[in-house]
Chains A and B, each alone.
Chain A
Amino acid sequence: MLRNKISRVGVLPARGNGAGLFLPLFIAVCFLALMPTARLLLESVIPDGHFTFGILQDVLNDSSTWKALGHTVFVGCCATVLATILGSSMGLLVGLTDIRFRKALTFCFMMPMMIPPQITALSWIQLFGPASVLLNTLGIAPAPGTPHPMYSPAGIILLLGIQQAPLIFLSLKAGLSAMPREMVEAARVSGAGNSRVLRDIVVPLMTPSLTAGMALAFVSCIGNFGIPAMLGIPARYTVLTTLIYQRLADFGPEVISEAASLSVLISLLAVFGIMLQTYMLKRKDYRLVGTPSEILKYRLGGYRLPAEICSWIVIVLVLVIPLCALFFSSLIPTFGVPLNAKTLTFSNYITVLFKHDATVRAFINSFSLAGGAALILCAVAVPLGYFLVWQKNSLLRFLSPLIELPYALPGVVLAIGCILLFLKPVFGVSIYGTIWIILMAYLARFLTMGMRPVVGGFSQTDRVLEEAARMCGAGFMRRMRDIVVPLILPAAATGGLFIFLAAFNELTVSVLLWSSGSETLGVVIFNLDDSGNSVLASSVSILVIVAILILMVILSMLGKKAPKGSIPWQC
């Protein structure tokens, strides 16, 4: 009796609608997403066992807090806009037109996610600085001592925008491949031109995917530390993450509480961004009927060549130049030696592969962590998205802004939360100091990356097919297997790919959680770089990128058999 009431108000699914799956899933997600954050927030108001708002007040009375908050909002918004412009124009070009070399373009445009941000930042600094090989060759290098154009808010926005653009690009592409063709055809038959179709049909229909990508990009920007640290600190331009880092450098017991209080601000910003997105989606109904169709191919005609040239220029800027910088510095014996026939050496590769046993271990660790996190989170995201969007479950609705938090918090803060949480055995199991704590942290951090594309997919797809199956008496699991999963697979695969790429190189969380034997690739690269061995760090980064390429090729081969749209770069 009570049960029926509960399911009627939408707190729990009804029997035969996945009720058995819902509760364990809900509890697991609560634990993952909320516990580390909650434990940390406790630390900000109960620093040593008694409740106080004192630290929070101190933080809020500090003028540098507000300055950093303003900078964070400004940089976050501008970078999101830039990423949206870049990502969506590339996405529309590749997804809707007859531009050539689509696969290669998609592939290349995804790659910037793979290069560690500190490397991208470094290569851009090198590119425009007095030491620039390129500018020196052209004879237009700035004299040593001229202030660097990258050390500025504009530099931070540019690099953050470039780094987040692939997220938007891939979200949009997943949306486009799920768009049925009938609507566009109908519009064209009624005499609408290309721009009209784009404005009245494609863009409105893409809103869920696009806003999902934008929200994710905004949240990543405000939580990013590497880029504002490298480019902002020299310019004395502080954002919240770099402020937290300044506070953490203090001695004294209240440090963690102060950092936690500052993280509350970042969390609030993130939640605000997500609320905005939810509000934007509320106003219209985006559901579509039908299965993904052929990709549309607008004829660009005379504009095709210029569009292609522009796209490749973008690729050269965001991918080729940083990659070249990385590759060249992996071939010299030490930083600062010019690369020529005499100095060229492959000894760095030999060192990291055969003499430095942490590298190989880190490859195995990172691969297992990234693969494990991607698989587990995809498997969780599909039913969660189903309960959230199609069943409009009210418990999950309340929870959904909260799962953004572990992703929006700076990695160092999440890691401290995990240390506080897992240091003492939980349920009699102690995972601290093992690789499992890193996996836990990754699951918490990247859950939202898996959820966003899936939620976008569900809100774009009409439930008609699943309801029809239900009429015919198909059980919950059967409907999941035959209807829901095939419909949502492209979105879920995109999410899985995001997670894999983000986790494969992840640094800020694992740097506080690793110990000998559980190194991740990010940690190895950071340790080498931090130890002044940048050439070795570069060669590990190149190996990482090669490994990713090999993986993608294998995926492409497998992808020929997979359902349409499950490999994001296959058009």
Chain B
Amino acid sequence: MRKIFSFIVLVLLAVSSAAYADNKIVVYTSQLEQDAHQTVEAFKKANPGIEVEWTRSGTTSLMNKLRAEFAAGNPRPDVILIADMVTMESLKKQGRLLPYKEAPVKGYDENLYDKDGCYFSTKVISTGIVYNNKAPFVPESIKDLERPEAKNLVIMPSPLYSGAAAIHMHTLVQNPDLGWDVYKKLASNGAVTSKGNGGSYKAVASGEKLYGFVIDYLPIRNMAKGAPVNFIIPKEGASAVTEPVAILSTSKNPEGAKKFVDFMLSEQGQNLASSQGFMPAMNGISAPAGFPDKIKLMPLDTSEALRKDRKYKREFSEIFGG
């Protein structure tokens, strides 16, 4: 018995010591599976000698993991790459982010990165409307989805789960022409929520629902494969998340983490984003095929969004149930 026990302890020790390489960074990302994998591989190729360990999930679930790590007092990641600037702003307020003033921000609009150098946008991902080709009418505005022909046919991702959906909610509510009124009308018109953008897209593609709010690249990528859907930017404009990257103040390898930020902001990193089918954040990098030339964006006040985040999310779940 004792022999077995000591053997187990030895094995555990061996495993845990092998897990720590010298030059390693840990990345938590909300990117899609294959994109996260490609990004990490490209980074490793550009920076030989740095090991990368990564985890992906929806922004909310990732934040739960991170919050538990904060509570236990030993956050693991060096770099986080998540959906939206509002979440980043809240982390910055808690003093969780490391300012990186020397980051290469040439070619980026000023509203795309934090002025103190705590986080930097890497892409522009807009949320518009996807509709199935069987839909009774082609929507032009968000308010079109309140029409009786769209009754029980609308689906949207939940802001409780998806960072992009949370930004979409704040953008709509902050817009004086839309506000909660739109959501209440959509709800009484039988609109429902799915968990993430993936679920929303799937419901529309399979014809279970015919209209949905969704992030741009899902329908655009799948239309190329023959999916029976179409994507529009409503005439009010789209909301956008920008997938910012940041270094945690508790990073054990800030030098390696800075290299990762450099890579994400570099021309090479931006071209990679474009080749993956995203609208790059850097000026002068061409957008992938299938994207509208100019996406009209609705304005968003991030600090206001952060202040109201909790209240709005609760309000949303009262209207839609989750």
Contacts and interface: CB of A to CB of B under 8 A. Distances in A.
A126 B208 contact: yes
B53 A151 contact: no
B16 A431 contact: yes
Interface of A: 20-21, 24, 43, 125-126, 129-131, 144-148, 151, 229-230, 232-238, 242, 245-246, 248-253, 255-256, 333-337, 343, 356, 358, 412, 416, 419-421, 423-424, 428-434, 436, 511-512, 514-517, 524, 527-534
A250 B15 contact: no
A336 B33 contact: no
8 contacts: A151-B192, A234-B192, A250-B310, A250-B314, A334-B205, A434-B16, A515-B53, A533-B34
A515 B76 CA distance: 11
Contact of B310 (A251, A432, A515, A527): A251
Given A130-B207, A246-B160, A248-B64, A234 B55 contact: no
A423 B64 CA distance: 14
Nearest to A417: B68
Nearest to B35: A531
Given A245-B322, A256-B64, 15 more contacts: A147-B152, A236-B320, A246-B313, A249-B60, A250-B314, A251-B306, A336-B132, A336-B228, A420-B72, A423-B68, A423-B73, A430-B19, A434-B19, A516-B54, A530-B33
A166 B158 CA distance: 33
A455 B16 CA distance: 36
Contacts of B87: 251
Contact of B53 (A237, A433, A530): A433
B309 interface: yes
A516 B19 CA distance: 12
Interface of B: 1, 5, 9, 12-13, 15-16, 19, 26, 32-35, 37, 40, 52-58, 60-61, 63-65, 67-74, 76, 87, 90, 94, 132, 134, 150-153, 158-161, 190, 192-198, 201-202, 204-208, 210, 218, 221-222, 225-229, 306, 309-310, 313-314, 317, 320-322
B192 A249 contact: no
Contacts of A144: 134, 153, 207, 210
A555 B134 CA distance: 49
Contacts of B19: 430, 433-434
Contacts, number: 211
Contact of B1 (A24, A126, A246, A358): A24
A498 B221 CA distance: 40
B32 A251 contact: no
Contacts of A416: 64-65, 68
Given A146-B152, A517-B53, A531 B33 contact: yes
Residue with the greatest number of chain A CB neighbours at <10 A, chosen from B32, B197, B204: B32
A400 B72 CA distance: 28
B202 A534 contact: yes
Contacts of B70: 253
A512 B61 contact: yes
B152 A145 contact: yes
A242 B317 CA distance: 11
Q: Which 3 pairs, one residue from A and one from B, show the smallest C-beta to C-beta distance? A: A236-B321, A336-B205, A249-B160
Contacts of B309: 250-251
A333 B225 contact: yes
Nearest to B155: A234
Contacts of B55: 514-516
B67 A255 contact: yes
Nearest to B20: A430
Given A233-B192, A343-B226, A530-B198, A251 B90 contact: yes
Contacts of B150: 145
Contact of B160 (A245, A333, A532): A245
A230 B199 CA distance: 10
B230 to A, nearest CB: 12
Given A236-B320, A514-B55, A534-B198, A336 B12 contact: no
A534 B151 CA distance: 26
Contact of B56 (A148, A232, A527): A527
B34 A531 contact: yes
Contacts of B222: 334-336, 532
Contact of A238 (B76, B195, B314, B322): B322
B72 A358 contact: no
A431 B321 contact: no
A455 B84 CA distance: 50
B160 A337 contact: no
A199 to B, nearest CB: 45
A419 B132 contact: no
Residue with the greatest number of chain A CB neighbours at <10 A, chosen from B65, B159, B197, B320: B65
Nearest to B159: A249
Given A236-B321, A250-B310, A532 B68 contact: no
A420 B70 CA distance: 9
Residue with the greatest number of chain A CB neighbours at <10 A, chosen from B16, B40, B94: B16
Contacts of B198: 529-534
Contacts of B153: 144-145
A511 B57 contact: yes
B74 A126 contact: no
B11 to A, nearest CB: 9
A431 B12 CA distance: 8
Given A416-B68, A511-B61, A515-B53, A358 B37 contact: yes
Contacts of A334: 205, 222, 225-227
Contacts of B40: 516
A512 B222 CA distance: 28
A541 B54 CA distance: 23
A529 B218 CA distance: 12
A513 B209 CA distance: 33
A20 B204 CA distance: 62
Contacts of B74: 423-424
B166 to A, nearest CB: 8
Contacts of A530: 32-33, 57-58, 196, 198
B98 to A, nearest CB: 20
Nearest to A336: B205
A538 B284 CA distance: 39
A249 B152 contact: no
A248 to B, nearest CB: 5
B188 to A, nearest CB: 12
